[in-house]
Amino acid sequence: MATTPTQTHASEDSPFALSYDTTTDFIEQAEYCERLVENLLDSHNPSERLALCGQLSSMLERLQPKLNEPIPPHLIERFTVDSIPTSVPVFEPETELLCSYSLALSQLLAGRTFLPEMEETLNGLLFELVCYFSDELRMPRFVRTPTGVEFIDSLKN
């Protein structure tokens, strides 16, 4: 899955500088979501915040259907490690539910259907959810063992 960056009017380090299409892999989409939500937290411009929420919402909508698909073969090595990680992100909702939470919050923020004093709290919650979601998507899934490559989850029991 290749990313096809398209230059826009924004500077290269701007979250508005790249656009992504349906061939962008889920890792790149998750990293783009993190970049958008980080910029959302830093922005004090209402129209920019609205645009960032709209882009985040759009990216999460494109990412959600990919969550139940198998990991593409070209990404398997990226998710394979020699030993089980000792540190992992901790949060209980399943990935699909976490994506739904993030999508709902970004849509709420884009629609601005809340009291103005709630915006900072909602932005913080959205930031935490998207960053955790992205961290979860990038976690190793496989470990090399003497008998071959195994799913990490099957070895934790």
- C-alpha span between 126 and 106 (Å, rounded): 7
* pLDDT in the model for residue 7: 35
Model pTM score: 0.67
> Pairing between strand 148-151 and 142-145?
antiparallel
* pLDDT in the model for residue 157: 59
The pLDDT of residue 95 is above 60:
yes
pLDDT digits (tens, 9 = 90+) for 97-154: 778 777 877 877 788 677 676 677 778 888 888 989 999 888 998 999 999 898 888 7
Assigned architecture for domain 26-67+89-155: Up-down Bundle (1.20)
Residue 20 CB partners (closer than 8 Å, separation 6+): 3, 4, 28, 29, 32, 59, 62
- C-alpha span between 47 and 82 (Å, rounded): 46
The pLDDT of residue 64 is above 60:
yes
pLDDT-derived band at 80 (thresholds 50, 70, 90) equals: very high
DSSP letter string, 42-103: H---HHHHHHHHHHHHHHHHHHGGGGGSPPPGGGGGGGEESS--S------S-HHHHHHHHH
Cα Rg of the chain (Å, integer):
17
* pLDDT in the model for residue 54: 92
DSSP letter string, 94-144: -HHHHHHHHHHHHHHHHHT-S-GGGHHHHHHHHHHHHHHHHHHHHS--EEE
pLDDT digits (tens, 9 = 90+) for 45-55: 999 999 999 99
Q: Which H or E run contains 145?
A: strand 142-145
| Average pLDDT of every residue of the chain | 80
pLDDT-derived band at 93 (thresholds 50, 70, 90) equals: low
pLDDT digits (tens, 9 = 90+) for 3-34: 333 333 445 556 555 566 667 788 888 999 99
Q: 């698909």: which residue's tokens? A: 69
